[in-house]
Structure 1
Amino acid sequence: MEELEIVYAHPSRRLPRRLIRRLVQAVLEGERVRLRYLSLVLADHAVVRELNRTYLGHDYNTDVLSFPLTETPGVVEGEIYVDLDTAAERHAEFGATFTQEACRYVVHGLLHLVGYNDAAPEDRKRMHQLEDRYLQAVGLL
């Protein structure tokens, strides 16, 4: 990997760096893309909601936001903001652990940077299948 920056912006919740690195590597290899730069910010409701409001005009909490910094095919360069509070609040309803849910958000954000979209139901289904694939690849499912 060229440059992966993991930023802990949550006052108390964490994900293991080693797990995040393995997860990102699994997605990059599986999607056959190269990482130029990725800033992965593990944040709380306040940070993610403010970004959602400022850049997307949505004044509500969300699980993950991705901001691409390039449109070069085969290259990942961008920022992902994961709301660890959302993962903590919602993991049980999906039968997942906090770590599984938060890592799903990491994969989801990265898939957006690779070029996947989830606007249509069939696209959401495909992304969910890919999320499962990469979570399984690192032993989380």
Structure 2
Amino acid sequence: MAILFFEEDIRFPLKEKNKYKNWLKKIAANQNRKIKDLNYIFCSDEYLYQINVDYLNHKTYTDIITFDNSETDKDIEGDIFISIDRVKENAEKENAGFEKELLRVMSHGLLHLMGYKDKNKEDQLLMREMENQSIILFSS
């Protein structure tokens, strides 16, 4: 089992990596899932925009893109790209702290890998509820 954190085209050293790893494992365990291989790649808006164009054919900026590499429903494997620029902007816009917004986005990607969607209003409400529950777990 591996949870790894990378930086692409920015400097973003995540402090207390083990605390984040344990938190992510708790989120997965609460859904009877196990993280097998999970990579978080922190990057800039421009880097993530290019991934969005190249791989998803979307010409929009976004805060997160999740690629699911899982082979079974129980084992989580994937790559989660997060724009730190966008997380900072969202934190300001939502009047939330940077760390809280980072936790929201990190959990959002993991929740996607566990099957949660956010394309319609009902799914968005459930996703937000699950994000909030995940954020609470970080401090417990």
Aligned equivalent of 2:91 = 91
**Distance in 2 between the 1:84 and 1:23 partners?**
20
Normalised to the residue count of structure 2, the TM-score between the two structures is 0.91
Aligned length: 139
The DSSP-based 3-state class of the residue aligned with 2:65 is strand
Tell me the percent identity: 24
Does structure 2 conserve the Cα–Cα contact (< 8 Å) formed by 1:104 and 1:135? Answer: yes
The question of whether the paired residues in 1 share the 8 Å contact of 2:25 and 2:34 is answered with no
Hey, what's the Cα distance between the residues in 2 that align with 1:18 and 1:3?
A: 11
Write the distance in 1 (CA, Å) between the matches of 2:75 and 2:11. 32
In the alignment, the residues of structure 2 paired with residue 10 and residue 88 of structure 1 have an alpha-carbon distance, to the nearest angstrom, of 16
Instruction: Report the counterpart of residue 3 of structure 1 in structure 2.
Output: 2
Deviations 1:68-124 (A, max 9, x none): 012411110110001110011120221211111112111001111111111111111
Structure 1 residues 10 and 21 mapped into 2: Cα distance closer, same or farther (>3 Å)? farther
Matched, 1:70 2:80: no
Match of 2:114 in 1: 114
Change (3 A) 1:40 1:112: same
Secondary structure at the counterpart of residue 138 of structure 1: helix
For structure 2, the residue ranges without an aligned partner over 5 or more in a row are: none
1:27 correspondence with 2:27: yes
Cα RMSD (Å) of the superposition? 1.6
Give the Cα separation in 2 of the matches to 1:122 and 1:71: 27
Structure 1 segments, 4+ long, off by >2 Å, are 8-16
Secondary structure of 2:12's match? Answer: coil
Aligned partner letter, 2:102: A
The residue aligned with 2:126 is 126
Q: After superposing the two structures, state which structure 1 stretch, 49-58 or 12-21, moved more.
A: 12-21
TM-score of the aligned structures, taking structure 1 as reference length: 0.90
